[in-house]
Amino acid sequence: MKIAKGHGLGNDFLLVAEKDAPAQIAPWAQRLCDRHIGVGADGVLLHALVPDGVRMRLINADGGEVELSGNGLRCLAGYMVWSGVRPAPSRALGSRALGLALPASSLRMSSTLPDAAALWSPV
């Protein structure tokens, strides 16, 4: 399994191809992200090539899946450019709520509104 580590504005993520992830993602991500016994990170970014671009899933260090992460998307975009996965003039990256286009000379980002119920969860 290949793992890359990306940093984006104070967050760090482990980037792993989705095909390399085990079926039980939550405990695996918790072990990898543990800063004492694992590699250490804020989350695991799973990525997969799809016909219209690159799909991502972000699993937090606690094992929960995250709907939205601008810093995670930034790390994935940088990794895709660095690794040469940009065969078309423009490649789309994204999760369910956040998208990014990689045109030849710049980055363009778009976002849907986050789930309102998630914003007002009791603490």
Contacts of 49 (CB under 8 A, 6+ apart): 55, 85
Tell me the average pLDDT across 28-48.
Answer: 93
48-107 pLDDT, tens digit per residue, is 887 777 788 899 999 999 877 888 888 888 888 788 775 454 555 555 544 555 554 554
pTM: 0.72
User: pLDDT-based confidence at 30, cuts 50/70/90?
Assistant: very high
Tell me how long the chain is: 123
The structural domains of the chain, with segments of one domain joined by +, span 4-119
What distances in angstroms separate CA 123 from CA 63, 67, 118, 120, one per listed residue?
19, 19, 11, 9
| pLDDT score of 41 more than 60 | yes
Considering the chain, what percentage of its residues have pLDDT values greater than 90? 35
Measured distance CA(15)–CA(43) in Å, rounded: 9
Which residues have CB under 8 Å from 70's CB, separation 6+?
98, 109, 111
The domain over range 4-119 is classified in CATH as 3.30.365.10: no
